[in-house]
C-alpha cells in the first residue's frame, strides 16, 4: 500500500478558490506494475485552472485531484517493475492528471525517469509550456538559421522559451508586449534571454511596422496567445505566405483578419494544442524532446520565471495563479 496522501481535491467544477480543498486521502494498493511516487513539485498552469472550472475540452471526472504535470521521487515499486527504483526522479510523460498530491500511484508506463541534476522547478514544468514552444517552432514552417519569428505574449513562459529556443537555432525573434508600467525593464529582461526586438503594442501603431526591423528579415512564422489587437499586430509583421499559429486567447477577444491579408499576403492561420499532439502516439518522441529541453535547463540555455510555494501555502499560490495579487511568476507547489 502507498502511504496516505494529502491532496488538492475538487468535488465539483467551479471557481478554483471555492471548490478546491486540501484533503487527506487513504493509502491505495500498489499493483505489480505500479510505481508509487512521492511528489516533489507541481505547477499551477492556466489549463489546470480551466479543468477545475469545467471549461477545458478534456478534464477528469469529479471528484478529482488537481494538477497535470510535476516531478517526483520513486517511493516504492510493484513486483513486476523493471528500470525504476526508489530514489529515482520521474515525471509523468505525457502528463497525467492528479499531480497536486504528496503521493501518487500510477502504472510504470506513465513515468519517465529523468536526470536528478535537473533543477526541481524546471523538471516540474518542462512539458506543458516549453514543449509547446519547441513543437510550434518545428511543426509549421521549415525555419532556417537567419530566419525570424514574431510573437505576442512574449513575457509568458511559452514566450520566454520561444525566444531562447529560437536563439539556440540562430533564429531572430520579434516580440510584442502589453503597454504597462515598467515596460523598459521587461524589454531589457527579454533581450537578455536573446530577444532581437521587443515592442509595446503602442509602438506598433504605425503604418509600416517593417520599417522598425532594421536588418531582421520579415518573419515567416508568428505565434498568438492573446487575440484581439495583439493578434492583428502579429499579422502585420508576417511576410507573404506567412503563418500565424494560435495557442491561447488570454484577452478573450476574437482574431480579426483583414481581407487583404488573405488575398494579397496569402496568410495562413493555424492552431496548436499540445494535448492533442501528445495523444497522437507520440510518447517516445515526446520523452526524447523532454530530455533535450531538460538538458538546456541544466546548461543554463533555457530559463524562465517561477516561484516555489510550500504546499501548506497552496491557497496563496492559487490566488497568485488566479491573478488576484497582480502579475506574478508561475506558481510551483513544493511538497
Q: What is residue 129's DSSP assignment?
A: I
Calculate the CA 271 to chain-centre distance: 15
| CA dist., res. 164 & res. 195, Å (int) | 8
Residues pairing with 41 in the sheet: 71, 334
- Catalytically active residues, by annotation: 56
Whether 207 and 185 have beta carbons less than 8 Å apart is answered as no
Angle at 312 between CA 35 and CA 43, to 5 degrees: 55
Whether 227 and 254 have beta carbons less than 8 Å apart is answered as yes
User: Kind and range of the H or E element at 263?
Assistant: helix 259-263
| CA dist., res. 156 & res. 280, Å (int) | 26
Residues pairing with 43 in the sheet: 332
Amino acid at each position: 500500500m502507498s502511504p496516505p496522501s494529502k491532496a488538492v481535491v475538487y468535488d465539483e467544477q467551479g471557481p478554483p478558490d471555492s471548490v478546491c480543498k486540501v484533503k487527506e486521502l487513504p493509502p491505495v494498493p500498489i499493483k505489480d506494475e505500479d510505481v508509487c511516487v512521492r511528489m516533489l513539485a507541481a505547477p499551477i498552469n492556466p489549463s489546470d485552472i480551466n479543468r477545475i472550472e469545467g471549461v477545458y475540452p478534456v478534464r477528469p471526472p469529479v471528484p478529482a485531484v488537481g494538477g497535470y504535470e510535476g516531478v517526483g521521487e520513486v517511493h516504492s515499486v510493484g513486483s513486476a517493475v523493471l528500470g525504476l527504483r526508489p530514489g529515482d526522479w520521474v515525471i509523468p510523460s505525457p502528463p497525467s492528471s492528479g499531480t497536486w498530491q504528496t503521493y501518487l500511484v500510477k502504472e510504470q508506463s506513465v513515468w519517465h525517469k529523468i536526470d536528478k541534476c535537473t533543477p526541481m522547478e524546471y523538471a516540474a514544468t518542462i512539458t506543458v509550456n516549453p514543449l509547446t514552444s519547441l513543437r510550434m517552432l518545428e511543426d509549421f514552417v521549415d525555419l532556417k538559421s537567419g530566419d525570424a519569428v514574431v510573437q505576442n505574449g512574449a513575457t509568458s513562459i511559452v514566450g520566454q522559451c520561444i525566444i531562447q529556443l529560437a536563439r539556440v537555432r540562430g533564429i531572430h525573434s520579434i516580440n510584442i508586449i502589453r503597454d504597462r508600467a515598467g515596460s523598459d525593464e521587461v524589454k531589457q529582461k527579454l533581450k537578455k534571454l536573446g530577444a532581437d526586438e521587443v515592442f509595446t503594442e503602442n509602438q506598433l501603431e504605425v503604418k509600416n511596422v517593417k520599417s522598425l526591423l532594421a536588418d531582421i528579415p520579415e518573419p515567416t512564422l508568428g505565434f498568438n496567445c492573446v487575440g484581439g489587437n495583439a493578434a492583428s499586430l502579429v499579422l502585420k509583421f508576417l511576410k507573404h505566405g506567412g503563418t500565424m499559429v494560435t495557442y491561447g486567447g488570454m484577452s478573450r477577444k476574437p482574431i480579426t483578419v483583414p481581407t487583404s491579408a488573405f488575398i494579397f499576403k496569402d496568410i495562413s492561420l493555424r492552431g496548436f494544442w499540445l494535448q492533442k499532439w501528445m495523444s497522437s502516439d507520440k510518447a517516445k518522441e515526446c520523452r526524447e524532446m523532454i530530455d533535450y529541453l531538460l538538458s538546456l535547463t541544466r546548461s543554463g540555455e533555457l530559463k524562465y520565471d517561477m516561484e516555489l510555494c510550500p504546499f501548506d501555502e497552496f491557497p496563496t499560490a492559487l490566488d497568485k495563479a488566479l491573478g488576484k495579487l497582480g502579475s506574478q511568476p508561475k506558481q510551483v507547489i513544493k511538497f
